[in-house]
Structures are given as C-alpha cells and as structure tokens.
Structure 1
C-alpha cells in the first residue's frame, strides 16, 4: 500500500489500482454464435449502445463536462441532493428518495434470500495494518478513506468482503455446506473516487451495495454457481425495471481462463442474448480470474456497472478459509463476489436516466409503479369531497395513496401531480360520489 497526496489530503492507493492505470488490455466483441471479433472488425450496426459502451471502456475517461439529466430529476422529484456539509460523493436522501431506496434494498434482499444467501452484518472499518486485510487491499483497485482512532489507522470498507471473509475464517465448514452463500446489504461502502469523476448518483464515495459471496469447493462448482448468479442478476435487474436493451455486458478475464473455460463465457453471452464486450489480459493482475459486469449506458454515453460477479482464486487462501473435504483433507474454497443489482444508488440513477430518455422522445417519464413514492393521488374538486377521498384512499390496501386537499384549482393540482410522476390521478366530484365510479388519469 502506498499513500498519495490528493486534494490536499492523504489517501490510500492500492497496488492493484496502480496496475489498473497502466494495465494493457486486448479488447474484443464476443457474439452469440461464440465468435470472438477484434474490436475494430466488428460490425456494430444494430448494436449502437454496445458501440458507445465499448468506446467508453476503451477511452477510460470517467469525467463529465455537464451534469447528466438524472441530477436535475433527483432534485426536482425531491429524492436526493448533494450535502455541502459532507465530503463530495456523500448524499442526503429526502423522504421520497429514502422510500425508493428502501424499497430497492428490501427487494434485492428478498431475492438474495430466495437464492439462498444467509444475511450477516459486519463492521464498516478495519485495521489498516491487519496483515491479511492489508494484503487484500493491495489486490483491489480502489482508493480508500482512512480514519485515525487512538494510535491506529483504519480504512472504511469498499465492500462486505472483509467482514464476510473473516467470518469464513472463523467458521467450521464441510464440503457438504458448499456452496456457502453469505450476504450483506452494505450501508455504507466507501471508495474515495477522484473528485472529477463524482457525478450525481452515477459515481459516489459512499454507497449502498448488496454483496453476496459464495464459497465453492472447486472450479466446477464455482462455474455452476457463476451461471446461477448470472441468471439471478438478470432477474433482479428485470424486477427493478431494466430490460436487456438498457444495458450491455462486459466479461473481463485472463487469457488462460478463456482458453480453458471459453464455453462458460459463450454460455453467458448466449443467455445475455446479444454480443458482449470482452477485455482480456495476458497475465493476472488482480485476485480474480474472470468477472462479468452489466453496464447501464446513460444519456451522456457514459457507462456504469450495475450487477457484477467474479471468480476469486486468491482470498480463500489469503484469509485461511478452510473446508473439510470428503477425503478428510482441509482445502481452501474458491470465492465468488456478486452484487446482483449493483449499488442501489446506481439503480436509481439508471431509472432516472431511462425516464429522461423517454421524455426526450416525447414519452411520459415515470418510475416503475412499485417504486413510485405516491402511486395514487386523489384530488377533490372542493372541500366537500375531502372525506370521500379519505375513505377511498383508506380502502386501497397496500397502495401508497395521498390526497391533495389544498385550496388550489383542480387543473393546477393535476399538473403538479404529473410533474411529480404520480402514476394514477383521480379527480373526485359529485359525479364520482353519486356513481361510485372513478375516472383515472394515467
């Protein structure tokens, strides 16, 4: 680990991050037929989003000259805003934004529970000089926040790996327990991203990330789990509101992995249903042999990883995690690192960017119904209708309904409900009271 002076502060820089900055990659496109194309030979006709993503990845430029559309939306919808009293990249959430974020956290957690993830909770800071943790820090490409307490320097976690692996080290594990899946919704994880790269919800220094690791017996079991988690991640993203047209797949690996496990990689691309970007290294710089990431491409042609998974071949031994195999010998497991949705903040970013794209095409912007802070708004035409609106709202079980009983015109109330992206707007007057039938604006 080395230290660099940045923005007049000292920050921890890993050896892996230094390696990433000078890493030489070969770039390809892998099509659904299993053919690997050099990047400059592939015909991107019909795959314009993949072309944008490939250009973004190849350029390595993460800065933005102008704020992306979602920044204005997150503010105007009263979801999220910058916090001037905190470090850049640390945000404040208003009640509507906290509701959306909580709904996403609950949904992803439920999906991981159904997959078999056992939920734990671990500290957000760890001793910088712990030999195992220090070794791992140097293998992960990220900048760290550090904290001084008494005479000890601590770093803030960038993921749940540290706590979950220390649990694994202390556990008594049999091969019968594998694959063993451990999960945490990290609120928060921290990465001290460069200031020029910080943008709204797209790139943060403090973020909430679902992190599920699987300890696997061997490469065959790891590959089977890898397939299962890829499907899980696709299902999670679909449930949030993303379609395959919204994202692009990247698979990053050492050449040896491709040569030995190319069929697995091709299988993932077939399941993805369209060509994918491949980044290949001649030698392994990191703790993993392969990782895939699903990336959202926004209105500025910038990409951000949502879901991801890796096959880690180092940390089982580094953390001295052992399992008793069938023959009575102790062995180190392979470890898979998966975030089936990516950072929750990035999911909100992606949904807002999608809505901005719809608006630019003349479509009505919206959040998915299940994430809309207010799903139904009742608008009484006068004060005599307020009690009826209350009765109707109370009758809607498990629906987030409210009543706009302000002394404003009905037209103004409707326009403001539309500006708030309320999916269903119900104007209630004498006709509705008499017929008990409602006219709903969608």
Structure 2
C-alpha cells in the first residue's frame, strides 16, 4: 500500500505532518506564556514584600521537583501514552498557575504558598519534558528530520524571546498576576491542542517489569553509548557554569562596567537572535558527522564568560552572544538528530529524562556556589574558570571516538517496517528541550 500524494493546495511543507503542526503550535503557545510567567513569579514575590533570597527560594522550589522527578517522568512516559502524560502535566501546570494568579491578584499571596505552587509547576515539567521529547522524536520520519527539528526549535526559541519581552511589558502595565493568569490560559490551550495528537501509528508498549526495571533499561541505553553519556556528562557541567556566569556574574559586570541592566538585556537578546539564525542555518545544512560538528560548536559557548571577564564593550559582548546562540542551535539540532537516529522509539522518553537530568541537576549547585567562588578567587578568575571548564570538557568529549565517527544515516534506529496506512501523508517533525 502506498502513501497518498500530498494535495497540490497543501499549505504546510511536505515534512510538516498534522502531529508536527500541533506539537509546534502547542510548544509556541506554552512558551509565550511561560517565558513571561517566570519573570512574573519573581516580581510577585517582590511585590509581596520578599527580597532576593525569597525570589531564590521560590525558584529553587520549582527546580527541586524538576530534578527529583525527571527520571520517574521518563519511565512513566515510556509506559503510558505520551500525549496523555503531556496533557496531564499541562493540566497540573494550568491549575497551579491559575491558583498562583488568583493569590497575587487578590493580594493574599504568601511566600510558602508561592513556593508550593512553584513546586507543583516543576513537578508538571518533570513529567512533561521527557514525554514531549519522546513524542516529537517518535513522530519524525524521512530525510527531512533535521529541518523539522530546526524549525521546531526556532518556534520554541522565538516564543521564549517574545514571551519574555511581552511578559516584561505586561508586568509593568497590568502587574504580575495577570501575566500568571495568561500563562494558565496558555497551558490550557496547549493541552487542548495536544489532545488532538494522532497516536495510531505508535506501537503499543510491551508489559514492563516495573518502574525500577524501566529506569535500569533507560540507564543501560545511556551507559552503553559512550557518545551519549559523555555529552550528557559534559553538559551537566557546561550548563551549570554558563548559568552561573549569566545569572550571577553577568548582571554584576553589567552594573559595574557596562552601564547597567539595559546593555545586559541587549546582550541576552543577542543570544536569542543567534539561536534563530542558527535554526535557519540548520534548515539547510545537514552535516554528515552530526556529533563532531555539534561538539565543535560547544567551544564558542566559552566566549561569553571570557567576554565578561575582560570585559568587552557592549558591541563585542553582543557579537559574542550572537555567535554563541548560533553555535548552541547547531549543537541542539545535531543532538536531537543523533537521538532520533540512534535510540529505540520505546526508550526515547527514558533516555530524554537522563539527558534532561544531566542538563539541570548541577544548576542549583553552580548558582549557589557562584558567590562563594567569587569571594574566594575574584569575579574575573571565576569567569575565566567557567570558560576553561567549557573548553576542557569539550576537548575531552572530542577524544571519544564515537563522537567523532557517528554519521547521519538515511533511516533512524527503527528499521522495522512501518504501517504506512497509519502514518501522516508526508512524515513528521522534531523536538528540543521545551517548556510545557
């Protein structure tokens, strides 16, 4: 049986299936709401009489359950229909943000209440993220997968940039409570879109031997692939030191030597622009050695910390941030393509959970130690140390033979015949780390 030809009046590209369109639209909607809500939560704490420490506590309350439940979320997403896990997580996020908004709008918000609601949001994200990544990866077919990944990531990155800008403007005009309410509505709409995902082509899950066994199987998938565990380990540290540099040292350098918050905001916007440019590049470029190219593009991530250590003037810092944004998108698309190609479909979410866990587990530690490290060795030395760690770990990963040798193939891991009658007419799409 052959796949029916695409309609000559079809408005979507041939590789953009119905599922891809729904997943992308839902991710963009949620990203627009969530990017502003993260800022709104901080201002809600301050408006309620809190200080910087209280803002940090609420942020930590969201991060802790994310780290704690990620691996469980990955196992659950490989046991249950992934779209149902995504919708359930969206529902939890919608309800928690709606409650947060009501408390802020009525002036009744207390620190412990905001921390509890933030923790519920983090729990939802822990279950959503592996399911979402697995769902998008499993919907990709054909040779245009990398292009689909690139467009998906461009949509998510663009939504995050626009959502942060819009959220900041709305906080200034109508207050953080309404921004939180908008985020709750965005989660509701995203959940509705995901209800309509077509999962008829996804193979039924075989009965498993329990949650712990599922986690062990996921770990074996990671541990058995040197390219996978080496890069996950690399980014556990790389993400942590970049977060410390950008969230702790960057604002201080901007305040002391660049002229304040405005130039720092421009620099961060430059990074966002770079991610969009990188995404556009990856819609056309299909490097043969995926991980070699991707890992080489991790080296430029050392540049922002070095630029802050010098420090470069705003024009130099902005150039560096744009370049690092381009580089991180080249890596991101290459990484998602490698996962799609090499990992069995029924283990996508568990492997994604270990990837996410590596990405976020060290963030609280790094941000907590950034201040003591600055006091011990000085800010400039700490920033140079961040750059050195990025360069050193990237060089170590390049020494892994599988990283240098892994090549793009015409077909992903799943070589078994596919029931084309159950597929969309022209294939599907791609993913990235995304908000729920």
- Higher relative CO (Cα under 8 Å, sequence separation at least 6) belongs to 2
Of Structure 1 and Structure 2, the greater strand share is in 1
TM-score range, shorter chain: under 0.3
Of Structure 1 and Structure 2, the greater helix share is in 2
Give the structure-2-normalised TM-score: 0.22
Give the structure-1-normalised TM-score: 0.22
| Higher Cα radius of gyration | 1
